[in-house]
Amino acid sequence: MENNCDLTLLEPVLEKYAGQKENLITVLQKTQEIYGYLPKAALYLIAERTGRSPAQVMGVATFYAQFTLNPVGKYLIMLCRGTACHVNSSEAIARAITEKYGIEDGETTPDGLFTLKHVACLGCCSLSPVMTVNGEVYGSLTPQSAIKILDDIKAGEGAL
């Protein structure tokens, strides 16, 4: 997939923010919206066009949980592993997802539907344990309710 990365899709974003170092996060967000992840070739081009070093761009891309450097499934599951979620059994939810869908942190289901990503904090501590699926927040989860949410999404895809 990396070799087929059409960098011309990124041109409007790069033109808008060319030379503006302070907008790096915005450029990375828009890049991820275009490709679904941050292709390495795009990161090098972003560095060149925003006046940053490739190391600086990569540092930002790897620091924030919202960014991913690998292609993801149609649905990105971000499972919070922060203190509140940990105390409220996020590990049991992670085990349930792994058992049901056969994916660990950073992996994608063979059908390309789900990618699981453990994150340090989603900022929804009062709803713990919590996960997001493509940005939609699901809180006060149990292993059973988390699986039901994912099963419902899968059913909606006509994949069950």
Mind listing the pLDDT tens digit of every residue in the chain (160 residues)?
345 789 999 999 999 988 778 899 999 999 999 998 999 999 999 999 988 999 999 999 999 878 889 888 999 999 999 999 999 999 999 999 999 999 999 999 999 999 999 999 999 999 999 999 998 999 999 999 999 999 999 999 975 4
**Residue 156 neighbours by CB under 8 Å, 6+ apart:** none
- Give CA–CA dist 141/64, Å, rounded: 24
CB of 73 within 8 A of CB of 127? no
What are the helix (H) ranges across 18-116?
Answer: 24-35, 40-50, 54-63, 83-87, 90-101
Q: Largest Cα–Cα distance in the chain?
A: 49
pLDDT at res. 71 = 87
**Residue 146 neighbours by CB under 8 Å, 6+ apart:** 93, 96, 97, 131, 138
Other beta carbons within 10 Å of 123:
11
Kindly report the CA angle at 120 between 36 and 134, in degrees rounded to 5? 30
CB of 78 within 8 A of CB of 69? no
